[in-house]
A and B are shown apart, each in its own frame.
Chain A
Amino acid sequence: MLRQTWLAIALVVAVPLHAQSGPQGDTWESIAKLPEFVGLWEVTFGGGPRGGGEPASLTPAYAAKLKEYQDATARGEIEDGPAANCVPNGMPSIMTQPYPIEILFTPGKVTILIEAYAQWRQIFTDGREHPEDPDLTFNGHSIGHWEEGTLVVDTVGFTTDTSLGGGGMRHSDKMRIAERFRLAAPDRLEIETTITDPEALTKPFTRTAAFGRHRDWTLAEYVCQQNNRNFVTDDGKAGIDLSFEEK
């Protein structure tokens, strides 16, 4: 009985204290206490804890879609994907392109600038919820909070135009992506990404990507349409445009 009373008192005291302090990263003062993510981060090629882990466990319907794609590829019918036509990859693949990302903190929001395809993500850390019926987009709607030094992000609202990684694995509009960002070492950022999808996956699919820090790099422009000579036709055939205008 005594223990229950103390527990009740502790809860009453703890809740207002938490409310007073606000979410981490919600004020300029609280941002100063966050881990230092300054600089550009580039995914390490084969250098991190990636690739391992269980393969995605697909539902029968989505396993059939994947097999259809793989069979068509083996027959030479599909040679490339939409990215050849400069369509951004969408989440989660857009996070692990061979181009750097930059992570910015402002009060109540984390912004990720992604050099590849000049994309960005905004992760609201001001305590808001997802929209009840979010628009379906390439990078989704993200909310996050800090658990000590780890940024925990939840993202929903994905268009089904994108594939889940390469090789024709698809997802539904009910896909949900949970990410945990943390500094595994002073210059090594690890992002653990867990994908759930009640229509496509029978269990959560988790991978961790490691990023190296480049403090002296700055983001560069990436306008994919500038001189894109690669193309893929609607029926999957790849080609190259070698037209050349003499100066």
Chain B
Amino acid sequence: MSTTTNPGRARALRHVAMVLGTVIGILVLAAWTSRAEAHHSFSVFDMQTNKELEGEVIEFQWTNPHTWTWIEVTNADGTKTRWGLEGMSPNFLGRRGWSKNTFEPGDKIKVVIWPLKSGEPGGTLQRATLPDGSEVVNFGRGPGG
């Protein structure tokens, strides 16, 4: 586990406060750009539901056009499910305190996601609590400011 590259808790909380502003900004931007998110719509995600999961990181893919965090979640009945969580790109997150080492295999993390409408085990990563208790926010700080 690595915590040296993770933003501190105060910074993470500040990021949380900025998420709402960023989301509003994205909606405003959508009026002019084709995809504020640059790449795809959110039609497959249920953005009305904030689903919480706790699991162990299998792999963190620091790739374009999206990062993918794969975690294994132990269900109530003892079975295990692998969840795939889509995040912003390394380009976007790398400028906002994240790195390819933000999550490492074996890390036990808690996440909040917008789940897939289909019910498949996947979603958009909103934020995550790291093993040391600090929090990282996927959308980071609004650009340009």
Chain B residues close to A by CB (< 8 Å): 22, 24-26, 28-41, 43-44, 59, 61, 63-66, 68, 70, 82, 84, 86, 89-92, 94-95, 116, 118, 120-122, 142-145
Contact = CB atoms under 8 A, between A and B. Distances in A.
In this complex, the interface size class of chain A, counting residues with CB under 8 Å from chain B, is 35 or more
A244 B144 contact: no
Interface in A207-230: 207, 209-212, 214, 217, 220-224, 226-230
Nearest to B92: A98
A199 interface: no
Give the one of B25, B30, B34, B120 with max A CB within 10 A: B34
A222 B143 contact: no
Given A166-B34, A226-B64, 9 more contacts: A45-B25, A79-B41, A80-B40, A98-B36, A99-B91, A207-B32, A224-B39, A227-B65, A228-B64
B65 A240 contact: no
Contacts of A84: 39-41
Interface stretch (A46-54, A62-70, A136-144): A46-54
Nearest to A245: B59
Given A45-B25, A84-B39, A98-B38, A240 B116 contact: yes
A86 interface: yes
B43 A238 contact: yes
B90 A238 contact: no
Contacts of A43: 29, 143-144
B28 A50 contact: yes
A83 interface: yes
A51 B31 contact: yes
For the residues of A in contact with B, the DSSP-based class is: loop
A86 B66 CA distance: 12
B144 A81 contact: no
Given A222-B64, A224-B65, A47 B32 contact: no
A233 interface: no
Given A43-B144, A238-B43, A50 B70 contact: no
5 contacts: A43-B144, A47-B25, A166-B30, A166-B34, A166-B35
B144 to A, nearest CB: 3
A212 B86 contact: no
Given A209-B32, A240-B44, A98 B59 contact: no
A232 B42 CA distance: 12
A244 B63 CA distance: 14
A229 to B, nearest CB: 7
A96 B38 CA distance: 9
A211 B143 CA distance: 9
B41 A80 contact: yes
A46 B28 CA distance: 6
Nearest to A213: B144
